Amino acid sequence: MILLSEGFTIFNDSPHNINRFYIPYGLKMSKYANPADKLSVIAASPFSVLDINTSIVDLAGAVKT
């Protein structure tokens, strides 16, 4: 699964790894949260669910290619 935001790839992995990838950036996801919902929020408005100091460029730099 690939997620883009502002022209950058900010996730490129299995949906099962969403929580592991975004925890260092402040993501808090409950056990029963829908990963697709979280990804859509991260792509549209990352600072509403991630640490305010995290930029799209930071996320893009951490993505596996």
29 found inside a domain: yes
47 found inside a domain: yes
Residue 47 sits in which domain range?
2-60
The pLDDT score that the predictor gives to residue 65 is 59
Q: Give the tens place of pLDDT for each residue, 9-65.
A: 999 998 888 888 999 999 988 888 888 888 888 889 888 889 988 888 989 999 975
65 found inside a domain: no
On whether the CB atoms of residues 11 and 20 are closer than 8 A, the answer is no
On whether the CB atoms of residues 55 and 47 are closer than 8 A, the answer is no
Q: Please, what sign has the CA dihedral across residues 7, 13, 19, 22?
A: negative
On whether the CB atoms of residues 41 and 49 are closer than 8 A, the answer is yes
d(CA 44, CA 36): 12
Q: Which two tokens stand for residue 48?
A: 């509403």
The pLDDT score that the predictor gives to residue 33 is 86
41 found inside a domain: yes
Give this prediction's pTM. Answer: 0.81
How many structural domains does the chain have?
A: 1
The pLDDT score that the predictor gives to residue 51 is 92
Amino acid at position 47, single letter: F
